[in-house]
Amino acid sequence: MEQYIKLSTLNDFIFCPKSIYYHTLYDNYEKNLYQEQAQKEGTKIHESIDNKTYSTSKHILQGVSVYNDYYEIAGKIDIFNTLTWELIERKTQIFLDKNKKPKIYLWYKYQLWWQMFCLEEMWYNVKSLWIYSVKDNKKYRIYKPSTNGLLYFENLLKKYRKFDLLQKNWKQNTQKCLKCIYRELCDYYIWEVYPQLKLFD
């Protein structure tokens, strides 16, 4: 059986497939050495979950390790309420777009879907999925995957397992490169993106 895929690694893969290699390199270093402000805020917010001090109520599962044998994925959930059957993922802040609609990134949805798959295989009944925006104390409903959403998820797992860093048709998203905490290690950023930025200095 292949090694289980970490949910956090899948999130990295969606952002940039190449980053899963750099994530591994940084595993041996203190987070403060490479995290930027947004990541530091996210780590701070998750401290109560990681330390299991978010709630003393027995019906609140916090920071629990979950897994799914069928998809061979594993990770940790933020919060699962066993009375209301709500699965909640905490984020620092959800911003609004120009139409005042919340900016819910695609990988936020996938994160909750994957956690749901794990919990359901562990015989938990997940009734609803939520993103909680900590800074403004708001909850946003995330709907369960459609048939197409499920197919996309399964295809994503296949792409992850087949991904080859040395493949010739490799392409990067420059806008994502600028926000990537691994850019200092990335040959594409160093040789392609950074020289272009210098032209505008």
Tokens of residue 197, six digits: 């930025």
- Residues 16-45 have pLDDT tens digits of 888 888 777 766 666 555 555 555 555 666
Average pLDDT score over residue span 101-124: 92
Question: What is the average per-residue pLDDT within 142-149?
Answer: 92
Predicted pLDDT at 1: 41
**What percent of the chain is modeled with pLDDT above 90?**
37
The continuous run of DSSP H or E covering 15 comes out as helix 7-15
Which residues lie below 8 Å from residue 6, measured CB to CB, with a gap of 6+? 73, 74, 75
Residue type, 151: L
Contact 182, 36 (CB under 8 A): no
pLDDT of residue 178: 82
Tokens coding 144: 């369960």
Taken in order of first residue, the domains within the chain and their CATH numbers are 5-165 (3.90.320.10), 171-201 (no CATH)
Task: For residue 178, give the nearest of 6, 38, 31, 20 by alpha carbon.
Answer: 38
Structure tokens that stand for 39 in this block: 């990541």
132 pairs with which residues across the strands?
A: 90, 139
Look at residue 86 and tell me whether its pLDDT is greater than 90.
yes
Q: Compute the Cα dihedral for 74, 76, 78, 84 and give only its sign.
A: positive
Is residue 38 within 8 Å of 30, Cβ to Cβ? no
Chain centre distance of CA 97: 21
Mean pLDDT, residues 105-119 taken together: 92
Average pLDDT of every residue of the chain:
82
Rounded to whole angstroms, the Cα distance separating 101 from 40 reads: 26
Q: What is the mean pLDDT of residues 138-143?
A: 95
pTM: 0.80
Instruction: Place 157 in a pLDDT band, splitting at 50, 70 and 90.
Output: very high
Query: pLDDT category, 113, cuts 50, 70, 90?
Result: very high
SS3 6: strand
- Cβ(152)–Cβ(158) below 8 Å: no
Tell me what pLDDT residue 122 has: 92
Q: Quick check: helix, strand or coil at residue 177? A: helix
